[in-house]
Amino acid sequence: MENNSHEEFQYLELIKNIINNGNSENGRNGNTISLFGASMRFSLKDGKIPILTTKKVAWKTCLKELLWFIRGNTDNKLLQKDGVHIWDENASKDFMESRNLSHYSDGILGPIYGYQWRNYNAKYDFVNGCVFKDNSSHGIDQLQQIIELLKNPETRNSRRLIMTAWNPLQLDEMALPPCHILCQFNVHGGNKLSCSLYQRSGDMGLGVPFNIASYSFLTHILAKHCGLEAFEFIHFLGNYHIYDDHIEVLKTQITKTPFDFPTLTIKNIKDNINDYELNDFIIENYQCHELIKMKMRK
């Protein structure tokens, strides 16, 4: 497809802008060039899902991680059993020691994304990676609250459909403080569901393509689960950056011409949001350029 209106060009233009105008920074985990403040919009109508096409995106890995978040899981061993290794470096003994979390059980990552989605601010059991059994308060199940509001025609147009992973009270208990920190859902026209995400820190080479796909998947899942139609994903970025050893391969990627985005079908509506599995999702017509390898930063 050679139409410059293709939505993927938003992502490619952000990369070009960083390369041409970014500021050099020596950061926590490496040197970057970065800018601050950007946004992109992606249509989700008619089953469309923005899995980037100018490189191959491991969408099954992305979806497995999302389902792990949805269930409130924080044990990396569960991902490893499912063939997902994107959290391995952040779960390593050396990295956990650098976060003063060496007392955690092997693979336990702390009260990260899914925990905050499902048990916001509940006391964390660092041995078992779940809500502390003796805690009288189990925190706030933000995701379930949103589901209940979306299922009710009288409340689904609320402007308070917000879910946050950023909890200052528990940041020091997390292997990695969240990068994608807050999303808001919105229904208009009675049944059209959109999602906006605010991401404080965006690794344009590796992280952002996953984040675009993940929250688009999440919007489609909630739409299906709540009897709505997925409409749009809007992505707001704070600090968006490129690591210095990613620059050359991204210069190659931005020369590629995007293909049409694929479509998603969710086969079944489950009674419980926790029950969706990988084989419930069908991706059709995903055509992409070759895989581009980049080093992941922890």
Task: Quick: pLDDT tens for 58-68.
Answer: 999 999 999 99
d(CA 117, CA 273): 12
Q: Is the pLDDT of residue 173 over 50?
A: yes
The mean pLDDT value of the chain amounts to 95
The predicted-structure confidence for 148-162, as pLDDT tens digits, reads as follows 999 999 999 999 999
Q: Which helix (H) or strand (E) segment is 289 a member of?
A: none
- Mean pLDDT over 74-94 rounds to 96
pLDDT in tens, 111-133: 999 999 999 999 999 999 999 88
Report the alpha-carbon distance of residue 240 to residue 111 in Å, rounded. 24
Write down the pLDDT at residue 57.
Answer: 97
User: What does the longest C-alpha to C-alpha distance in the chain come to?
Assistant: 59
Which residues lie below 8 Å from residue 92, measured CB to CB, with a gap of 6+? 298
Q: Is the pLDDT of residue 136 over 80?
A: no
Out of 130, 179, 195, 226, pick the active-site residue: 179
Measured over the CA atoms of residue 102, residue 104, residue 107 and residue 108, the dihedral's sign is: negative
- Residue 105, pLDDT > 50, answer yes
Q: Note if 62 is an active site residue.
A: no
Q: What is the pLDDT of residue 3?
A: 53
Task: Confirm if 72 and 117 have CB atoms less than 8 A apart.
Answer: yes
- Does the domain formed by 8-58+65-70+141-284 have CATH 3.30.365.10? no
Residue 1: is its pLDDT beyond 70? Answer: no
State yes or no: pLDDT of 209 exceeds 90.
yes
In sequence order, what DSSP letters do the residues of 192-219 get, joined into one string? EEEEEEEEEEEETTTHHHHHHHHHHHHH
Residue ranges covered by each domain of the chain: 8-58+65-70+141-284
Measured distance CA(56)–CA(290) in Å, rounded? 6
Angle between helices 207-226 and 142-151 (to 10 degrees): 40
- Of 11-20, 24-33, 170-179, 250-259, the poorest mean pLDDT is in 24-33
Q: Are strands 192-203 and 162-164 parallel, antiparallel or unpaired?
A: unpaired
- Looking at per-residue pLDDT, the higher value among 4 and 203 belongs to 203
Give the integer Cα–Cα distance in Å for 128 and 106. Answer: 10
- 69: pLDDT strictly greater than 80: yes
- DSSP characters over 107-173: TB--S-HHHHHHHBTPPEETTTTEE-TT-S---B-HHHHHHHHHH-TTTTT-S--EEE---TTTGGG
The residue count of the chain comes to 298
**pLDDT > 90: percent of the chain:** 92
CA-CA distances (angstroms) from residue 8 to 12, 52, 117, 298? 7, 7, 29, 26
pTM of the model: 0.96
Q: Mean of the pLDDT values across residues 53-57?
A: 97
